[in-house]
C-alpha cells in the first residue's frame, strides 16, 4: 500500500472514532459513504488512466502532443508560438471546435465507464437502503463522502509545499 492509502485510512480512522461517540447508525452511514466514495474515486482514476493510455497508444509521434496542437498543426510545421499566432482565425475556430468536441468525447469516455457507473449505482442503492431502513443520517453520510476529497486536498497541499 502506498502512503496515500495510509492517509485515507487515517482520515477514515478519525471519522470512525468520532462516529463511535455518536452511535452505530453514524458509523454505518459514514462507512457506507466512505466505501462508496472510494469506489467512485478508484473507478474514475481507472477510467481516466485507460483513456490516457489509449491516447498515448494511438499517438503516432514519440512525444505526446496536446490535442489542440494536434488539430491546429497536424504535421508539426510550427514549433514556436509566434508562428502559430500567424494562422488565420477561421482555422483556429475550426480547430477549437474540433478540440472541444474531441475533448468532450474523450471526457465522456473517461467519465462513463462501467466501473464508474457501477460505483454510482452502488452509492444510490446504499442511500436508498439506509433510507428505507430508517437509519439514514444525512450529516453522517455527507461526512463519510467528504473524507476522500478532504484527504486528497490535504495530500495535494503537502505535495505542493514539498
Task: Evaluate whether 91 touches 72 at the Cβ level (below 8 Å).
Answer: yes
List the grid coordinates of 120: 454510482
The cell numbers describing 100, all together, are: 472541444
pLDDT tens by residue, 40-80 = 988 888 887 777 777 777 765 445 556 666 666 666 666 55
| pTM for the full predicted model | 0.66
The pLDDT of residue 7: 84
User: Which span out of 67-76, 103-112, 134-143 was modeled with the highest average pLDDT?
Assistant: 134-143
Structural contact between residues 40 and 123, judged by C-beta atoms closer than 8 angstroms: yes
Between 143 and 56, the more confident residue is 143
Residue 92 pLDDT exceeds 60: no
pLDDT (0 to 100) of residue 49: 79
Q: What is the mean pLDDT of the chain?
A: 78
**Average pLDDT over every residue of 89-100:** 57
> What is the 3 state secondary structure string of 94-135?
HHHHHHHHHHHHHHHHHHCCHHHHHHHHHHHHHHHHHHHCCC
Indicate the length of the chain as a whole number. 162
Is the per-residue pLDDT at 102 higher than 70?
no
Using the predicted structure, report yes or no on whether residue 141 has a pLDDT greater than 90. yes
pLDDT at 54: 75
Pick the range with the lowest mean pLDDT from 15-19, 47-51, 59-63, 150-154.
59-63
**What confidence category does residue 161 fall into, taking pLDDT thresholds of 50, 70 and 90?**
confident
**Angle of CA points 146, 120, 58, to nearest 5°:** 105
Mean pLDDT over 9-30 rounds to 91
Domain ranges of the chain: 3-161
Amino acid at each position: 500500500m502506498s502512503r496515500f492509502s495510509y492517509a485515507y485510512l487515517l482520515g477514515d480512522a478519525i471519522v470512525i472514532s468520532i462516529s463511535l461517540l455518536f452511535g452505530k447508525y453514524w458509523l454505518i452511514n459514514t462507512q457506507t459513504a466512505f466505501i462508496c466514495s472510494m469506489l467512485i474515486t478508484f473507478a474514475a482514476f481507472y477510467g481516466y488512466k485507460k483513456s490516457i493510455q489509449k491516447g498515448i497508444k494511438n499517438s503516432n509521434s514519440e512525444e505526446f502532443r496536446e490535442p489542440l496542437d494536434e488539430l491546429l498543426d497536424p504535421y508539426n510545421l510550427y514549433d514556436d508560438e509566434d508562428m502559430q499566432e500567424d494562422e488565420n482565425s477561421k482555422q483556429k475556430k475550426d480547430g477549437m471546435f474540433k478540440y472541444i468536441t474531441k475533448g468532450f468525447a474523450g471526457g465522456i469516455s473517461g467519465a462513463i465507464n462501467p466501473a464508474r457507473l457501477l460505483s454510482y449505482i452502488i452509492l444510490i442503492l446504499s442511500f436508498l437502503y439506509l433510507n428505507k431502513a430508517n437509519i439514514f443520517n444525512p450529516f453522517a453520510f455527507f461526512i463519510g463522502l467528504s473524507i476522500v476529497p478532504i484527504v486528497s486536498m490535504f495530500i495535494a497541499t503537502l505535495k505542493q509545499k514539498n
